[in-house]
Every structure is written in structure tokens, then in C-alpha cells.
């Protein structure tokens, strides 16, 4: 049996990298007072039709839509922001606090052509700051993501930001963009002409060099922004400057979801090749209200975890070595004593691996070496008679006999000095 195309097993040899991300993210989110939230992976299809937009690629050709036995149209979630907005409305979280700072980590689903860093089931680490119109909200979200990337020792990434203004400003800009692009109608293929008709702003971040060449002299969205939109964007840039956060203004950055307004941003890396976006997000002031909730503005973004792992593997070989001991019980007669030793190790929070394979002691020691254990705790007939244990240190290639009642004290001292061996 094979996995379904576009899905992938995350094996024990890789899962520790994901665990490291999760644990470091928790530390950072706790500093900024962001709380974890988990939403179902299945939502009503209408949620995404109303929020993401009918003319987006996600809705038009990427969503996994099905009917359940009750005839309800359901969708495997393709992104995390709309479910968060729905959860805020359903659970009336805004009654306790107008400002909600939330984060999530979990699988998303999109029917795309599978390739490196982009699967049909993929995972995102996302944050949402709900309830604030302040440009400080964007700055806080960008700062948190930057801190996560820096903590994970990621390098050579680029923060790009833009403002797409409000709905009225985009409408006027879109009219002029369409008029400009219409002059090149015969140079455009069918797919581009369709996009020009249904979602012209998405042409701005096209990867096609021919389209980008045409756009070089196209109108620029920032020239259509009013005083309020410009003031907000200028403030975001100023605060980033104050924090010495390096960024690039990209006037063609629009993002692919209909709910965004004002600030949009992406973080990209040259280490990813063509699909180079690690993180994307922006402001969405009308989303919650459009779904039937109160008028709560928001800012959010999400990191693609698979892409982040590719970058980490290229930059830094993450070590899974831990200060773990290997417990070897030589025969069934010593099992009871072995369980007593394990109980002591567990109570002292000493990491251990109990050998369960029925092989001779030399093979067990070789297995411990392969698993990078620090030492083997050997319990045999002689040890039982003398109320001792034999501890064989694998790196230093020596062994010592220790009284059973002193084993924890002995191991703790040795672990604190382990770099000597």
C-alpha cells in the first residue's frame, strides 16, 4: 500500500525537527501572550466561499470538497485564518476581550501538483492578532515570525511588504490595470486572459517573465492609495525601521486571498528555488464582519512548515542526540530488578531506553552505540547477587561497578561531566 499522492509520512527520524519547532514556538508565543487554538480540519464549504473568494485559485481549483451522509457540503481546510474567524464568532471570544492573540499549528489541504515543499496535505504554523487597527499589530506579527526564524537559525531570508489599500482604492486601480493590460491582449495566453477577467490583481505576482516584463510600465497600486491607507503603511514601515528589521517594499505583492486589505507581506528564501515563500500574511479588517461577526479588524500570517524544514536541512544539520542511557537486562530472571532501576531513572527524569530485543549482550551494546546512547546499564546475575549495576560508558570505553542505591547520584554526576569523555 502506498500513501495517497501529495501526502507524506513524517517518520521518527524527522519528527524531532517538528517537535523542536513546536517547543520553540511555544516559548516565543508565551513571551508575546499569544494563546494556542485548534480548529477542526473539516469546515463547511460556505466558510471558504465567503472568505477566501470565488475567483481565487484555492476556491476555483484547489479545495477538497465533499458531501457527508447528511448532504452537507464540507471542505478540508485549505488555510487557517477563516476557521479562526469562524471560531471567534461561534464562541463569542470577543465578549471576554476585544483583542485576541492566537496561534495554531496543523495540517491544511489543497489539490495542487505535488513538488518539493508543497504537498496536497501540508502543515502551517500561523498567528492571528484580532481586534486592533494599530499598525503595531502588523509589526508585532512580523517581529514574532522573524524571531521564530532567527531562533531556528534560518538565514538569508527576505521580508517583503506592500499595501493594497482599501476596497474602493483597489477597484479604481484594477480598472486602470485591466485597461493597461488590454493593450497586450494578443500577447497573453488563454489562462492569463481569464485571470485578467476574473482576478486581475493576481497577475502582479505572476512568475512568468513575459508577464513581469509587460507589468514594468503598468500602474502602481500605491499611487492609488488615499491619505488614510498611506498613513497606515508609512507607520508600519517606520516601526519596522525603529526595530532595525530589514525589509523590502514590493509594489507587486498582493497575496492570493480576497479578504486582505492594507498591509500584505511575505518572507522568501533563495534556498527554496521557484516556490520560495516561507511565510505570507497581511491585514484583514472586514473578514470577521463579512462572516456575520462584529466589526473586528485582524492581522495574521502562516509559515509553511515543510518549506521551513527544507531550509533548515540546507542550513543546519539538526542533532537528535540526547543524554540517554541504555538499560540491558541479561535474562528474564533479572526483570524485576530491571524494573526497579527503570523506576528510579524515571523518577529522576533521566532519559533511558529499555532494550527489549532478545539478543546477546554484545549485540545489545552495539545497538546502544548505533543509537548514540551515552552508556549501558547492565543488570545480570552477578549484579543481582551483589546489589550493584555495571555501567559501561560507550564514548570513553570504560565501565564501572556502582552500588544499586547510588546509581542515580552517580549517573547525574557523570552526565554533568559528560563532555570530558
DSSP-assigned letters across all residues of 246-262: --EE-TT---S-TT-EE
Nearest to 288 by CA among 322, 261, 315: 261
Q: Is 77 annotated as a binding residue?
A: no
The residues, any chain, with a CB within 8 Å of residue 400's CB and separated by 6 or more, are 390, 391, 393
* Coil, helix or strand at residue 273: coil
Shared domain for 368 and 276, answered yes or no, is no
Q: Is the pLDDT of residue 82 over 80?
A: yes
Domain that holds residue 300: 12-165+225-315
Residues 256 and 302 sit within 8 Å (Cβ to Cβ): no
Kind of pairing between the strands at 388-393 and 375-379: antiparallel
Choose the most confident range, by mean pLDDT, from 21-25, 95-99, 203-207, 328-332. 21-25
Would residue 345 count as lying in a domain?
yes
Would residue 75 count as lying in a domain?
yes
Would residue 406 count as lying in a domain?
yes
The model's pLDDT over 206-260, given as tens digits with 9 standing for 90+, comes to: 777 888 888 888 889 999 999 999 999 999 999 999 999 999 999 988 876 788 9
**CA torsion through residues 251, 255, 257, 261, sign:** negative
Q: Is 113 annotated as a binding residue?
A: no
Measured distance CA(338)–CA(147) in Å, rounded:
45
Q: Which three cell numbers stand for residue 47?
A: 466558510
Shared domain for 296 and 379, answered yes or no, is no
Shared domain for 273 and 160, answered yes or no, is yes
Mean pLDDT of 157-183: 91
Domain count, the chain: 2
Would residue 5 count as lying in a domain?
no
**Confidence (pTM):** 0.85
Give the model's pLDDT for residue 129.
96
Shared domain for 121 and 141, answered yes or no, is yes
Shared domain for 129 and 247, answered yes or no, is yes
Would residue 403 count as lying in a domain?
yes
Instruction: Please report which helix (H) or strand (E) contains residue 215, including its range.
Output: helix 209-215
Measured distance CA(124)–CA(109) in Å, rounded:
10
When pLDDT is cut at 50, 70 and 90, the band that residue 395 belongs to is confident
Q: Is the pLDDT of residue 97 over 90?
A: no
Measured distance CA(49)–CA(242) in Å, rounded:
39
Q: Is 79 annotated as a binding residue?
A: yes
Residues 161 and 265 sit within 8 Å (Cβ to Cβ): yes
Q: Is 260 annotated as a binding residue?
A: yes
Shared domain for 49 and 154, answered yes or no, is yes
Of 315, 333, 357, which one is at a domain's C-terminal end?
315
Shared domain for 350 and 372, answered yes or no, is yes
Mean pLDDT of 185-197: 78
Shared domain for 307 and 329, answered yes or no, is no
Kind of pairing between the strands at 64-67 and 73-76: antiparallel
* Coil, helix or strand at residue 5: coil
The model's pLDDT over 317-352, given as tens digits with 9 standing for 90+, comes to: 655 667 889 999 988 888 888 899 899 999 999 999
Q: Is 94 annotated as a binding residue?
A: no
What CATH number does residue 360 fall under?
3.40.50.800
Half-sphere exposure of 39 (CA within 13 A, CB side): 26
Give the model's pLDDT for residue 198.
78
Q: In what order do the strands lie in the sheet with 261-269?
A: 35-36, 100-109, 121-130, 298-304, 277-283, 261-269, 157-163, 248-249
Would residue 280 count as lying in a domain?
yes
Would residue 151 count as lying in a domain?
yes
Residues 254 and 204 sit within 8 Å (Cβ to Cβ): yes
Would residue 304 count as lying in a domain?
yes
Q: Is 383 annotated as a binding residue?
A: no
Q: Is 255 annotated as a binding residue?
A: yes
What CATH number does residue 111 fall under?
3.30.930.10
Kind of pairing between the strands at 121-130 and 157-163: unpaired
**C-alpha to C-alpha distances, 123 to 114, 316, 317, 375, nearest whole angstrom:** 14, 21, 21, 37
Measured distance CA(376)–CA(418) in Å, rounded:
14
Q: Which residues pair with 379 in a beta bridge?
A: 329
Could you give the angle at the alpha carbon of 79 between the alpha carbons of 13 and 208, nearest 5°? 90
Amino acid at each position: 500500500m502506498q500513501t495517497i499522492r501529495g501526502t507524506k509520512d513524517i517518520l521518527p527520524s524527522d519528527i524531532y525537527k517538528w517537535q523542536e519547532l513546536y517547543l520553540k514556538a511555544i516559548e516565543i508565543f508565551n513571551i508575546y501572550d499569544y494563546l494556542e487554538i485548534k480548529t477542526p480540519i473539516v469546515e463547511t464549504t460556505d466558510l471558504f466561499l465567503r472568505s477566501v473568494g470565488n475567483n481565487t485559485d484555492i476556491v476555483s481549483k484547489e479545495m477538497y470538497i465533499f458531501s457527508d451522509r447528511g448532504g452537507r457540503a464540507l471542505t478540508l481546510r485549505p488555510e487557517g485564518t477563516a476557521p479562526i474567524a469562524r471560531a471567534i464568532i461561534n464562541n463569542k471570544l470577543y465578549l471576554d476581550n476585544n483583542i485576541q492573540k492566537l496561534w495554531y499549528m496543523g495540517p491544511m489541504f489543497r489539490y495542487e501538483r505535488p513538488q518539493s515543499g508543497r504537498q496536497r496535505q501540508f502543515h502551517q504554523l500561523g498567528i492571528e492578532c484580532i481586534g486592533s487597527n494599530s499598525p503595531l499589530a502588523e509589526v508585532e506579527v512580523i517581529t514574532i515570525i522573524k524571531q521564530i526564524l532567527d531562533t531556528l537559525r534560518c538565514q538569508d531570508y527576505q521580508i517583503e511588504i506592500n499595501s493594497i489599500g482599501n476596497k474602493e482604492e483597489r477597484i479604481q486601480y484594477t480598472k486602470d490595470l485591466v485597461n493597461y493590460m488590454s493593450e497586450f491582449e494578443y500577447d497573453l495566453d488563454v489562462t492569463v486572459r481569464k485571470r485578467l477577467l476574473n482576478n486581475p490583481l493576481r497577475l502582479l505576482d505572476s512568475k512568468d517573465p513575459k508577464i513581469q516584463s509587460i507589468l514594468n510600465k503598468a500602474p502602481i497600486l500605491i499611487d492609488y492609495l488615499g491619505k488614510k491607507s498611506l498613513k497606515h503603511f508609512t507607520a508600519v514601515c517606520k516601526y519596522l525601521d525603529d526595530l532595525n528589521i530589514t525589509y523590502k517594499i514590493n509594489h507587486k505583492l498582493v497575496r492570493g486571498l480576497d479578504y486582505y486589505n492594507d498591509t500584505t507581506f511575505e518572507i522568501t528564501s533563495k534556498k527554496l528555488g521557484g516556490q520560495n515563500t516561507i511565510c505570507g500574511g497581511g491585514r484583514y479588517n472586514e473578514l470577521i464582519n463579512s462572516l456575520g461577526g462584529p466589526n473586528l479588524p485582524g492581522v495574521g500570517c502562516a509559515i509553511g512548515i515543510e518549506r521551513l524544514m527544507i531550509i533548515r536541512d540546507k542550513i543546519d544539520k539538526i542533532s537528535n542526540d540526547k543524554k540517554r542511557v541504555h538499560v540491558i537486562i541479561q535474562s528474564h530472571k533479572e526483570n524485576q530488578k530491571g524494573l526497579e532501576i527503570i523506576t528510579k531513572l524515571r523518577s529522576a527524569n533521566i532519559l533511558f531506553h529499555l532494550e527489549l530485543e532478545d539478543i546477546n549482550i554484545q549485540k545489545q551494546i552495539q545497538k546502544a552505540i548505533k543509537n548514540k546512547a551515552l552508556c549501558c546499564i547492565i543488570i545480570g546475575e552477578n549484579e543481582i547477587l551483589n546489589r550493584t549495576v555495571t555501567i559501561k560508558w560507550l564514548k570513553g570505553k570504560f565501565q564501572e561497578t556502582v552500588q544499586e542505591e547510588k546509581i542515580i547520584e552517580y549517573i547525574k554526576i557523570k552526565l554533568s561531566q559528560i563532555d570530558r569523555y
